[in-house]
Chains A and B, each alone.
Chain A
Amino acid sequence: MTIYRKIYKVATVGSRAEGNLRPTWADDMPTIMPGVSFVVHEYDETEGWCICECWVSDHPIRGIPRNMSDLEVLESHESVIEVLTQHPLSPAVLGILSLSGGHSPESVDLKKKTLGFKGKTMSFKRVEKNRRTDGQEEDLYILDEG
């Protein structure tokens, strides 16, 4: 299972003054390609572009598993100005998929690093401790990251 990433220079709409500066595709992404997540690293409001790093995953925890070929399809979207190979603000880890412990996994095999969730068997990379907003500490199964 892999997280796939791609960096795009994308045209923007809105403005900071109005509180709604965003990539042109932001509000339409659920219809353009549901299952894509992104972080915006940089805006140039004067020239009307932003640097938008999209990511997808083929992990079964995703509603719609996707891979690099989907991100390549996005390259031809009308709002994409350029595809970049890197950006100084692109973090080492952009996206993390996880599942809380407690009642969520139906089964956990720590030796095989697999768990059962909603009838599916899924692999996980490691277990972390996380504190919920009620103060309870939970096991957090990191399914995928990158």
Chain B
Amino acid sequence: MSINIDKKKLRKELDFRELCKAYPLRFHITGATTVTYDGEYLIITSASATYDCIGTGFGSPSYEATRSTYYLSVMARIKAPGNDTSIYFFFLEPRKGVYADFQGFRHDGTYHCFEFRNGDAEEQDNIADQDWTTEHIFRIVHYKDQSLCQGYIDGALVAECTDNTKISAQPFSVYTIEPNGVARTVYLKYPPGIHEYSYS
């Protein structure tokens, strides 16, 4: 049996710059949650009282211990077609569950927002007029010197914090689509999945 591949079409469909910067994924999935793939999205369907997610594992692959001036910039394409409330959409933590040092996009039950946490001291910036049931490109920029953390949606900055007492330290792992204990179905575009900043 042979498989014919239209290379021109393949080149058109895939963004190679995103693909080459994609991180290996680690599934933090328990029994009540299912993961399927429809050829375009990884689809996570969670039950209530589960806190599953997809992440990059332990430690940021792009962390550079000896440099102090660079910034981490990570992206993912995500949607929650059925209901976009009460989800941790896209975020950084030193490891899964270390919420004391969380940085990222969530819906807190009332607001779409970006949270900045450092040692459990928190700033929340509420972002109005959002609909995350449709696909958006989420991007987080985090400066290693903790002077700045930014949240972008669809290529435009929406929230920024410059209070360094609310911006926690690298290295981070990167996580997405954590249902926060509610039953939700969330889609992660794959490829590229979670990846470093590139755009086209």
Contact = CB atoms under 8 A, between A and B. Distances in A.
Interface of A: 15-23, 26-27, 29-30, 33-41, 43, 50, 61-64, 89-91, 93-100, 102-104, 117, 130-135, 138, 140
Interface of B: 49, 51, 53, 75, 88, 91, 93, 96-100, 102, 108, 111, 117, 119-129, 137, 139, 143, 147-148, 150, 152, 154-166, 175, 178, 180-181, 197-200
Contacts of A130: 108
A130 B121 CA distance: 13
A17 B124 contact: no
A80 to B, nearest CB: 16
A79 to B, nearest CB: 13
Interface centre among A21, A37, A134 (most CB of B within 10 A): A37
B48 to A, nearest CB: 11
A26 B150 contact: yes
A91 B128 contact: yes
A95 B126 contact: yes
A133 B199 contact: no
A22 B159 CA distance: 10
Contacts of A94: 125-126
Given A35-B162, A135-B49, 9 more contacts: A15-B155, A21-B157, A29-B148, A29-B162, A34-B164, A39-B159, A63-B166, A138-B99, A140-B122
B20 to A, nearest CB: 16
A103 B98 CA distance: 13
Nearest to B127: A39
A37 B125 contact: yes
Nearest to A32: B162
* 8 nearest CB pairs, A to B: A134-B97, A19-B199, A100-B120, A63-B165, A16-B155, A132-B99, A22-B157, A104-B120
B155 A64 contact: no
A93 B126 contact: yes
Contact of A41 (B128, B161, B200): B128
Contacts of A40: 156-159
Given A21-B155, A22-B157, A133-B93, A100 B126 contact: no
Given A21-B156, A134-B97, A135-B51, A95 B125 contact: yes
Contact of B152 (A19, A37, A104, A138): A19
Contacts of B197: 19
A24 to B, nearest CB: 11
